[in-house]
Amino acid sequence: MSSRRVVVVGGGAAGFFAAITCAEAAPDAEVLVLERGPQFLSKVRISGGGRCNVTHACFDARELSARFPRGGPALIGPFQRFQARDTVAWFEARGVKLKVESDGRVFPVSDSSQTVIDCLLRAAKAANVKLWLNRGVEHVTRRAGGGFELVLSTPGSLHESTHPQPLPGGEQNRGRATAVPLPGGVRGGFMVPMRDSGIVEAPHEPERRSPIQREPGDPSQRAGSETGAPVVCDRLLLATGGCRAPAAGQLAVSLGHTLTPPVPSLFSFHIASPWLRELAGISVESVEASVPGARLRERGALLVTHWGLSGPVILRLSAWGARALHGFNYQFPLHVNWLPHLDGEAISAELDARRHAQPARTVINTPIPPLPSRLWEQLVLATGIARATRWTALARATQHHLLQQLIRTEFQVTGKSLNKEEFVTCGGVRLSEVNFKTMESRVCPGLHFAGELLDIDGITGGFNFQSAWTTGWIAGQAMAAGGRGVRREKSP
């Protein structure tokens, strides 16, 4: 049995990537992942509408880091070591074919997040990473001889890898795992008291459900024998995800770290306008949205929802303005330019052309491309133009009001809804307290961080996953090397 042991707290993207990287780089080390919830990689499963936006096709480290409202400068160095090109190569080398969509987002060709989940689970199994579900960490204390003692919450189930490679044809390992008591007595490290663990066997149909997800009453979820023995590890990684509540970062705080107060990022806007809500489901390929009170301005696709506005342009506004909009208590004016590719003179010319070429047609039935006809209709009515008004009868002053409506519709935002596919927060462990060459704590030796627990968050489009893969890879390499940074040539 190895005398080196690593514990990863958090079974999400960053935690899994770190655990796999560490186990592959140091096959003699014992790597254990503890997940508080009932399944691993739950955010991977629902991201991108269930397709998993793996990364973004942005292959310059500085340009990539510029997509992060918070943490961008700190990520320049890490992205020079492991960036989007490396992520693509990592997954494709393990059988996941990827594609780049027109907006730069990268998805599996299968359009299924299960493909990514199965890949990560197979890689963890092949590297003999031990996976524990329903095992949250109640508290952690430093030990006098070095390391930490972790006390766990609800007993859960164990899935321990026993086969070095996945079976042919992409099937999951069908062999039953065996629980092996981990010895105590190792000097230093972390102590994790375990009890009542069950053994999980991988299912036969990986595309239908995760290899660690079981139906109620499954024998693999029943309690096993009590070992009563502590688990001692030499390195600890916290990858518990974003601090959606301050309590989520208390493990780091208890070890001497400071949390930047968390606030939501990546959320949609509540708008009570009745005419807007009648358009729920309508999307516009490109608009310019701005929040004048916060000097925020973004351009991109917009989606009208039953409660207001969403889509990439709104999510980017919410990311860059996360703290400012929080300060407004999510109540502020929003301006939308529906035709940002045209200036005022060009739009005026479009309106005049309709007046001269189609004077007998009603204004409401002659939209300016590429605006959807339903949206044009509501904008015309919101200007105060009657449905029966023809171009020949439209007053010049009213036409000017329509022009203003097209280039600056004003809405009053009254609240927010978290984007369920992203649920990103800004805030987290203060970056100055972390060495980004190793992702190791500067205040607590032996402790590492990865993913959204750090005060890092990107805009929508695969950037937050890239941060998870990158920080997880660096942490995994460093933990495998005993904390020393691992040199790597820059990506071409």
What is the overall mean pLDDT for the chain? 84
Matching residue, tokens 């310019």: 288
Q: Would you state the pLDDT for residue 230?
A: 55
Boundary-marking domain end, from 402, 418, 434: 418
Asked whether 483 and 446 are in contact (CB, 8 A), the reply is: yes
Are residue 459 and residue 397 in the same domain, yes or no? no
Does residue 229 surpass a pLDDT of 50?
A: no
The answer as to whether 487 is a domain residue is no
pLDDT band with cut points at 50, 70 and 90 for residue 484 = low
Range of the domain at 302: 267-418
pTM of the model: 0.81
In a domain, 204, yes or no: yes
Do 309 and 353 belong together in one domain?
yes
* φ and ψ at residue 152, rounded to 5 degrees: -90, 160
- The answer to whether residues 231 and 350 belong to one domain is no
Say whether both 359 and 449 belong to one domain: no
Distance CA 431, CA 396 (A): 57
Residues 207 and 234 both lie in one domain: yes
Q: How far apart are the first and last CA of the chain?
A: 40
Q: When comparing pLDDT for 222 and 478, which is higher?
A: 478
> Is position 490 within any domain?
no
Q: Is residue 255 part of a domain?
A: yes
- Could you read off the pLDDT of 411-431 as tens digits, one per residue? 999 999 876 555 688 999 999
Q: Per-residue pLDDT tens for 298-334?
A: 999 999 999 999 999 999 999 999 999 999 999 999 9
Q: Is the pLDDT of residue 377 over 60?
A: yes
Taking the C-alpha atoms of residue 325 and residue 309, their distance in angstroms, rounded to an integer, is: 15
Reported as a single tens digit per residue, the pLDDT across 426-461 is 999 999 999 999 999 999 999 999 999 999 999 999
Q: Determine, yes or no, domain membership for 486.
A: no
Q: Are residues 384 and 428 in the same domain?
A: no
Instruction: Report how far apart, in Å, the C-alpha atoms of 402 and of each of 39, 278, 393, 399 are.
Output: 53, 20, 14, 5
Cα–Cα distance for residue pair 73/65, rounded to 1 Å: 7
76 phi and psi angles, rounded to 5 deg: -60, -50
Residue with tokens 């990107």: 458
Question: What is the average pLDDT across 158-173?
Answer: 37
Give the C-alpha separation, 251 to 239, whole Å. Answer: 11
**Total structural domains in the chain?**
2
What are the phi and psi torsion angles at 49 (to 5°)? 65, 30
Domain CATH number, residue 178? 3.50.50.60
